[in-house]
Structure 1
Amino acid sequence: MKEKRITCRSARNFCLVKILENLGHFPTRKTEKEAWFLSPFRSETQASFKISLALNRWYDHGLGKGGNSIDLLVILLNLSVKEVLGYLNDELSFSFHQPPQQFEKIEGTKIIETKPIIHPAMISYLKARKIPLNIGQQYLKEVTFNQRGKTLFALGLENHLGGWELRNKIQKTSSSPKSYTWLKRSKTKLILTEGMFDLLSLATMNPILVYESDIVVLNSIAFIPEIKGLLSDYNDILLFLDNDEAGNAATETLLQQYNIAIDCRDEYKSYKDLNEKLIGWN
């Protein structure tokens, strides 16, 4: 029997909360009528992304935009509508429907295996982000994981609690416990970045600086309060946060609290982040 394909009409009714949870984004607050998330489109410390549970529609107050599940995935995954339908149909569609009772207790992401990066798709993804394979191999692993009954793989950066940040061409997710990554090398200088590709981009553009520094990859701006106990151990704190509203606010807060902190974003002031500069640079 021919497999039934997902239509735009049915895709618009897929549960937005489940879509975001499947991609590694979880509500910071939830009521009977709405769920609030840290925006999946940028880093921020206060949730500005709302989902109406009654309407199953989203609105990002920082972006000033909203819509249905297709609109969300077109922006979030940078796909066409046709590609979104294929993504929902081939990969994860069954878990996006409004869930029946028996699916409510499905567990999240489970790591199956970690190994050096060897899969052509992962190497191609690094290449698309302008990251040399040897840099990727130094900091990341190729991670096979199970998510809602599907076996998937991605590039992974391990955090200090043993959880993983997972990225591939179409998906941004993570495994529990979610936290920051601390690469401690007993240096007196600390580099602070938001995400794994910021670290990889800096290691590509300025390998000596990265080699001579300890590194914290936040994995989310929300973890800034948790790293403050680490910062007093350093003589210099180099801030490489995003050029957006959340990055501006976090940078300003850290500059006010630590006179040893240095805002390094002039190096990529015309770009959103380090990886965007690296891609535009090459």
Structure 2
Amino acid sequence: MKEKRITCEKARNVCIVQTLATLGHFPSKQSEKEAWFPSPFRSETQASFKVSKTLNRWYDHGEGIGGNVIDLICKLKQISVKESLEFLSDNHCSFSFQQQPVKKESPKLEITQVLPIRHPALLDYLTERKIPPTLAHGYLKQVHFILNSVKYFALGLQNEAGGWELRNKFQKHCCSPKAITLISRGKQNIIVVEGMFDFLSLLVIRPKWFVDSDVLILNSLAFASKIGSIIEKYDGINLALDNDEAGEKWTQYLTSIFPKALDKRNCFAGFKDINEKLIAHGQRYYP
């Protein structure tokens, strides 16, 4: 039997922050009482779209308009109130129909689903970072999670302790426990990078490096001093940490301890990291 369409009264209580997340829009900053988004109605670099979490209402400072979630769907999808209610009814599994209370305890991140990457917002994000989706599919997942009672999704890289590094266009999170990620294929050499996009970017820029190399993704420079027992077993150690003060510090540290460790940052000289160079210059990927 077809489910009855929800009423306007019930629809007004649908969480706006969660609705935007489900549609691929994420806050650039938020507090217990409010969240700020780049406007979902246009392209902008500075967030001008405010959501009051306590009132569950939105206001776009760029256009001087606002309202409830029904008004948002009508404006965003250019549809009528009736069509907006039908949309909310059809997607009732994705949206919360209860206003979530403000919680004061430390936020807890809960993974709810792990899928192959298929959401358009994540595919667009990969494209913006110049990472071929066909390449990312081999290493990343589409991870759905709940944080502060709000549902989100992001690109996820699993680490050696079972935790996840989570990235989307507007947010960076980690689902504990935090640890390195080791891509081990029994090779003679190893490449050490800082994060998931460093690894994928290097795979695009220098694919031949990976023919005879395993990969260690630090996920945090805090682990740089703890990887000695792993990398010392390899014949060759290639370091591609960031071109910043912290990257320089740990590159010098590792090369001083391991004579066979080589600083490979010359391949993205002039840029802070590998992905910055890839975005600036681009390079075709051959699967």
Equivalence for 1:122: 122
The alignment of Structure 1 onto Structure 2 pairs a total of residues equal to 209
Equivalence for 2:273: 273
Percent identity for Structure 1 against Structure 2: 39
Measure the CA separation in 2 of the matches of 1:194 and 1:221.
7
Measure the CA separation in 1 of the matches of 2:142 and 2:57.
22
Q: Give the structure with the higher percent helix.
A: 1
Q: Determine if the alignment matches structure 1 residue 80 to structure 2 residue 40.
A: no
SS in 2 for 1:138: coil
For each residue in 1:237-270, what CA deviation from the matched residue of structure 2 results, as whole angstroms up to 9, or x when unmatched? 1000000000000000011000010000111111
Equivalence for 2:131: 131
Equivalence for 1:183: 183
Residues 211/138 of structure 1: CA separation in 2 closer, same or farther (3 Å cut): farther
The TM-score, its normalising length taken from structure 1, stands at 0.66
For each residue in 1:149-196, what CA deviation from the matched residue of structure 2 results, as whole angstroms up to 9, or x when unmatched? 111100000000110000001001110101110111111100000010
User: Contact 1:243 / 1:272 at 8 angstroms: preserved in 2?
Assistant: yes
User: Contact 1:194 / 1:217 at 8 angstroms: preserved in 2?
Assistant: yes
Question: Structure 1: which amino acid aligns with 2:243?
Answer: N
Equivalence for 1:247: 247
For each residue in 1:168-225, what CA deviation from the matched residue of structure 2 results, as whole angstroms up to 9, or x when unmatched? 0100111010111011111110000001000010111222312421111000101112
Measure the CA separation in 1 of the matches of 2:216 and 2:145.
24
Question: Structure 2: which amino acid aligns with 1:180?
Answer: I
Equivalence for 2:110: 110
User: Contact 1:202 / 1:210 at 8 angstroms: preserved in 2?
Assistant: no
User: Contact 1:145 / 1:151 at 8 angstroms: preserved in 2?
Assistant: yes
Q: Gapped runs of 5+ residues in structure 2?
A: 1-8, 17-28, 37-43, 59-101, 283-287
Measure the CA separation in 2 of the matches of 1:256 and 1:136.
33
Equivalence for 1:201: 201
Measure the CA separation in 2 of the matches of 1:135 and 1:90.
40
SS in 1 for 2:155: strand
Measure the CA separation in 2 of the matches of 1:87 and 1:244.
38
**Structure possessing the higher radius of gyration over alpha carbons:** 2
SS in 2 for 1:139: coil
User: Contact 1:192 / 1:215 at 8 angstroms: preserved in 2?
Assistant: yes
Deviation at 1:146, TM superposition (A): 1.1
User: Contact 1:236 / 1:260 at 8 angstroms: preserved in 2?
Assistant: yes
Deviation at 1:136, TM superposition (A): 0.6
Equivalence for 2:153: 153
For each residue in 1:118-165, what CA deviation from the matched residue of structure 2 results, as whole angstroms up to 9, or x when unmatched? 111111000000000111101100111111111110000000011000
Question: Structure 1: which amino acid aligns with 2:110?
Answer: K
